[in-house]
Structures are given as C-alpha cells and as structure tokens.
C-alpha cells in the first residue's frame, strides 16, 4: 500500500485518531485529548496517510526553527509497521529545507534505536549533561 507523507497539521478527526493511539503508548499513557490537541497545535507535524486519507502514522517536532529540534510522538499504526513508515516520518523533518540548519536534533526511545541510528541519531556521549523533570502537569488546572 502506498502512503503519502507530508508536513501538515492534523485536523479534528485526525486528532481523535492520534489521541486514541497515543493514550495507549508507554510514553503518553492516558494523555488527555486536549493535551494532544495543544501539543500538536504547537509543534510541526508529519502525517502518513493512506490513499483513502486515513492516518497511517504521525510524528511531531518541537523546534525553535533555528538551532534545536526534539522529535517525538512517532507512531505507526499496527497494520503499517515494518514498512519503514516511522523512518520516513522522521526523514520528512530531517529533509525539510528550513530545518537543515538545526544544530542539534534529539529524541527519546525505548525500543527503536535501530530505526533512528539509520538516520544518523547516536546515543549521547555525555548523558550526564542532560537533566529533566518528570511527571509535571502538562497544563495548569482550570481554577473554575
């Protein structure tokens, strides 16, 4: 099956599909639909679509557009796995001319190191330089 992969923002029905799948992943288990909408709305997005316009995969890039990009939420629907779709989604960002000048690209993965190493990603040489905060709320709760 031929897929079309393009940089585009997901529409409301795409976000329903994206949310349903992300909410089942190890990295975004139980994530709220509103959080997914905000995250994708504030990121560059790549979508893989089938000939009948269904979402076959997606990814997003958090970037300042000048120096840094964080590749995240790369997900391929089960029926399209094993065909290089995740790699193609990542490549769509890496090959996008306005992003060619980014000095640093990063991502986090539990089990897809082989996918990303083929694109030039490497394990950190100095992981001790990175720090993070985990389990912070994604948005403040509405006081009402």
Per-residue pLDDT of the chain (144 residues; tens, 9 = 90+): 689 999 999 999 999 999 999 999 999 999 999 999 999 999 999 999 999 999 999 999 999 999 999 999 999 999 999 999 999 999 999 999 999 999 999 999 999 999 999 999 999 999 999 998 887 665 555 555
* CA-CA-CA-CA torsion sign (54, 10, 121, 77): negative
HEC-encoded secondary structure of 56-115: EEEEEEEECCCCEEEEEEEEECHHHCCCCHHHHHHHHHHCCHHHCCCCEEEECCCCCHHH
Whether pTM > 0.85 for this model: the answer is: yes
What are the structure tokens assigned to 143, written together?
């006081």
Give the whole-angstrom CA distance, residue 88 versus residue 75.
11
| pLDDT at res. 114 | 92
The predicted structure's pLDDT at residue 125 = 95
- What pLDDT, on the 0 to 100 scale, is given for residue 135? 76
Q: How far apart are CA 64 and CA 71, in angstroms?
A: 12
Nearest to 74 by CA among 125, 22, 33: 22
Domains and CATH numbers, the chain: 4-129 (3.40.630.30)
**What's the pLDDT at 29?**
94
Nearest in space to 49 (alpha carbons), one of 7, 90, 16: 7
Q: Give the model's pLDDT for residue 1.
A: 67
Q: How confident is the model at residue 139, as a pLDDT?
A: 55
* CB contact at 8 A, 11 and 98: no
């Amino acid at each position: 099956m031929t897929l079309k992969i393009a940089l585009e923002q997901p529409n409301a029905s795409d976000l329903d599909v994206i949310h349903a799948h992300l909410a089942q992943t190890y990295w975004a288990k139980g994530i709220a639909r509103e959080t997914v909408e905000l995250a994708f709305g504030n990121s560059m997005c790549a979508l893989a679509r089938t000939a009948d316009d269904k979402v076959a995969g997606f990814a997003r890039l958090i970037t300042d557009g000048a120096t840094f990009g964080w590749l995240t939420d790369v997900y391929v629907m089960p029926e399209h796995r094993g065909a290089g779709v995740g790699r193609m989604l990542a490549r769509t960002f890496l090959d996008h001319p306005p992003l060619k000048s980014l000095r640093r690209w990063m991502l986090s993965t539990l089990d897809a190191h082989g996918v990303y190493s083929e694109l030039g990603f490497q394990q950190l040489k100095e992981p001790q330089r990175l720090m993070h905060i985990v389990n912070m709320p994604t948005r403040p709760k509405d006081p009402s």
